[in-house]
């Protein structure tokens, strides 16, 4: 008798283990009888009850916020920060949303602000505040009854973001657009991978990522901030420590001159405005050969800061800047129009497209 009970108990526990392991990171919903809520499991494996129809969402950092904007803009309730761009290339219904602060980097977020906005859910994609479980517990306690749904921070990485895009698509009931984004991403990465995989090591271009207004901060190979150089087959010349978190390792002009990159890419308009007239940089090959490229900025920088799912269009841009001959057939204008229409919900005019792909220092 005791053996039978023991066997039954073991089988029951196994069923529970299989059930919960299968639920981890699953946005499929389990309807709560006689209720307007559903049960879900977030990507951290936490069991949550959320509204059956989610209409208002806040992200605690830019990567999750941008993902919500790209998949379901009508469900986004606010931005974490905002760039002061004269041409945001964004519908006013979205660009005028309130700025609620950030829990990543500058940590300007305020819990009271979110509570007063009454969002249906808060999405957390990453945290630098100690262990992730502890950070989520603090966040949930501070936000009271507003469910905090955790998504995987792989959304920061262009090559690993599919599961998070798929999960968020199910969560916000926009699976078709999530699938489109995954297909767009895969198409670009497949073309780049098939093109750069056979470039001999000694024929790869040597690239410096210039950050900060003087261009003397950078992120070496392996950093998520410089990931597009690695993906596109460039050699990141920065031989300096990889600074975790916010990155941006300080270097000297003497180091840059010693590395002597063939190409410089930058996300800083102020640096771009001065680099060709600054005597400190005139001996660097990239400057002498006019191969310094400023990444498009609107509505979010295409290559870094903020990171997020939009970097996929910056990956196509980077490949074209590094290897213009190898990617001569890549229709960057067509890809940009498609990307902005589908995922930024904005139809670019010819003039705006030209402005975007040929950014000036004052953009």
Domain 37-173: give its CATH superfamily: Nitrogenase molybdenum iron protein domain (3.40.50.1980)
The predicted structure's pLDDT at residue 310: 96
Secondary structure class of 19 (helix, strand, coil) = helix
Decide which of 3.40.50.1980, 3.30.930.10, 3.40.50.300, 3.30.565.10 is the CATH code for 198-357.
3.40.50.1980
Q: What angle do CA 269, 274, 277 make, to 5 degrees?
A: 155
Of 101-105, 198-202, 219-223, which range is least confident?
A: 101-105
User: What average pLDDT does this structure show over 69-85?
Assistant: 90
Same fold, 37-173 and 198-357: yes
Report the predicted TM-score, pTM, of the whole model to 2 decimal places. Answer: 0.88
Two tokens at 143? 């936000």
- Residue pair 143/113 in contact (Cβ under 8 Å)? The answer is no
Q: How confident is the model at residue 5 (pLDDT cuts 50, 70, 90)?
A: very low
Complete DSSP assignment for 128-159: -SSSHHHHHHHHHHHHTTS-EEE--GGGGSGG
For 173: left if phi > 0, alpha if psi spans -120 to 50, otherwise beta; the answer is: left
pLDDT at 65 over 90: yes
The whole-number pLDDT of residue 13 equals 37
Tokens representing 26 are 């699953």
pLDDT at 6 exceeding the cut of 70: no
Q: Supply angle C-alpha 83, 295, 160, rounded to 5.
A: 90
pLDDT of residue 33: 66
pLDDT (tens digit, 9 = 90+) per residue, 126-172? 654 556 777 788 889 999 999 999 998 888 999 999 999 999 999 99
Residue 4, Cβ density class (10 Å: 0-12 exposed, 13-18 middle, ≥19 buried): exposed
pLDDT of residue 32: 66
Q: Where are the chain's structural domains?
A: 37-173, 198-357
Q: Who has greater pLDDT, 141 or 29?
A: 141
């Amino acid at each position: 008798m005791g053996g039978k009970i023991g066997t039954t108990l073991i089988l029951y526990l196994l069923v529970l283990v299989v059930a919960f392991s299968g639920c981890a990171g699953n946005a499929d919903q389990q309807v709560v009888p006689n209720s307007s809520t559903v049960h879900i499991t977030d990507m951290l494996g936490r069991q949550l009850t959320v509204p059956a129809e989610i209409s208002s969402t806040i992200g605690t950092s830019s990567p999750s916020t941008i993902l919500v904007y790209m998949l379901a803009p009508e469900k986004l309730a606010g931005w974490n920060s905002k760039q002061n761009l004269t041409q945001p290339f964004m519908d006013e219904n979205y660009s005028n949303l309130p700025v609620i602060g950030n829990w990543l980097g500058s940590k300007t977020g305020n819990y009271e602000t979110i509570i007063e906005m009454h969002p249906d859910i808060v999405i957390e994609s990453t945290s630098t505040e100690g262990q992730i479980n502890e950070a989520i517990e603090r966040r949930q306690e501070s936000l009271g009854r507003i469910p905090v749904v955790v998504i995987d921070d792989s959304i920061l990485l262009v090559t690993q973001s599919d599961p998070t895009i798929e999960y968020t698509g199910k969560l916000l009931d926009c699976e078709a657009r999530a699938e489109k984004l995954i297909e767009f991403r895969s198409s670009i990465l497949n073309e780049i991978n098939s093109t750069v995989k056979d470039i001999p090591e000694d024929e790869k271009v040597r690239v410096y990522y210039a950050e900060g207004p003087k261009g003397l901060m950078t992120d070496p190979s392996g950093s998520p901030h410089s990931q597009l150089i690695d993906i596109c087959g460039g050699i990141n010349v920065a031989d300096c420590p990889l600074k975790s978190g916010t990155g941006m390792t300080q270097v000297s002009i003497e180091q840059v001159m010693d590395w002597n990159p063939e190409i410089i890419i930058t996300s800083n308009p102020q640096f771009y405005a001065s680099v060709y007239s600054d005597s400190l940089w005139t001996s660097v090959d990239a400057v002498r050969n006019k191969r310094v490229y400023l990444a498009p900025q609107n509505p979010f920088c295409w290559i870094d800061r903020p990171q997020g799912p939009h970097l996929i269009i910056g990956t196509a841009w980077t490949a074209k800047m590094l290897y213009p001959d190898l990617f001569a057939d890549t229709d960057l204008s067509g890809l940009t129009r498609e990307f902005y229409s589908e995922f930024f919900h904005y139809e670019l005019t010819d003039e705006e497209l030209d402005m975007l792909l040929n950014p000036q220092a004052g953009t």
